[in-house]
Chains A and B, each alone.
Chain A
Amino acid sequence: MIVIRRRPGEKIWLGPSISIEILSLSPSRVKLGVTAPADVTVVRGEVLEAATENRLAAASVKADDISRLAEVLRGFRQIA
């Protein structure tokens, strides 16, 4: 990991076409301005994690597994 210290108003370049500017700073947050070509996806880390998790969730399971899981959950929460 490359560690760089920047102040608000300063920039970082990733290759020749992607830049990240520190726009403002508060005690618990930093606001970043990202400039990148249209073919570069810029997402929050958690969104990428959610995408990975969705791909896993969309992988098929046997229909029986769904019923069996529902049965376990019904029993656990005492749902009729």
Chain B
Amino acid sequence: MAVLESAELGQVEYREEDLWSFPEGLPAFEHLHRFLAVRRATFHPLMVLCSVDDPAVRFICAPVELLDPDYQLQLAPEDCPSLEWVAEGEPEAKLYVVLSFPEQGSPTANLLAPIVVNARRGIGAQVVLAGSSYPVRYPLPGMRGDEQ
């Protein structure tokens, strides 16, 4: 059992086999490859994707169907080679979107670059879609900026 020290989540215990490997890291964080998906009842259905190598780096993620139940992932052939299992149509691919909390305005979700994960194999990647009209800042439903 190892422990992740998170400023927001406190001490989180995990096993190596629970980790997800991101061979290409994430845009702006290409050097980070080992991540832990933290889920808790208090913030269900959100998930916090934490880097175990740099605990200051974590992303708050939502399952894509929460934001857009009709979301369609269309991968181009040049998308990350580490995602060949997605191209093969494996049903185990799960999609999450990363949430941002700007200083001004309500939180948004990045629908243009979903995080695609195969939990069974423990590998994932953030795929930046090409030629897509999905927005990089999709306003979250139920939050109009004038929420209390």
* Chain A nearest CB, measured from B139 CB (Å): 12
Q: How many A-B residue pairs have CB under 8 A?
A: 106
State whether A58 touches B9 (Cβ < 8 A). no
Is A69 in contact with chain B by the CB < 8 A criterion? yes
Given contacts A66-B43, A73-B62, whether A53 and B101 have CB atoms under 8 Å apart is no
**Cβ contacts B43-62/A at 8 Å (1 or 0 each):** 11110100000001111101
Q: Nearest residue in B to A77 (C-beta to C-beta)?
A: B66
* Chain A nearest CB, measured from B130 CB (Å): 6
Within 8 A of B (CB), among A34-55: 44, 46-55
Interface size for A (C-beta < 8 A) is 31
Q: Nearest residue in A to B25 (C-beta to C-beta)?
A: A54
State whether A59 touches B101 (Cβ < 8 A). yes
Tell me whether chain B's interface is mostly helix, strand or loop, or mixed: loop
Within 8 A of A (CB), among B89-104: 98-102
Given B28, B101, B143, which contacts A54 in the complex, CB threshold below 8 Å? B28
State whether B130 touches A56 (Cβ < 8 A). no
Jot down 14 A-B pairs with beta carbons below 8 A, ordered by A: A49-B128, A50-B27, A50-B136, A53-B98, A54-B59, A54-B126, A56-B101, A58-B58, A60-B7, A60-B56, A66-B60, A70-B42, A70-B45, A73-B140
**Given A46-B113, A56-B100, 11 new contacts (CB under 8 A):** A44-B128, A50-B128, A57-B60, A58-B29, A63-B8, A66-B42, A69-B60, A69-B140, A70-B45, A73-B141, A74-B44
Chain A residues within CB distance 8 Å of chain B: 44, 46-63, 65-67, 69-70, 72-77, 79
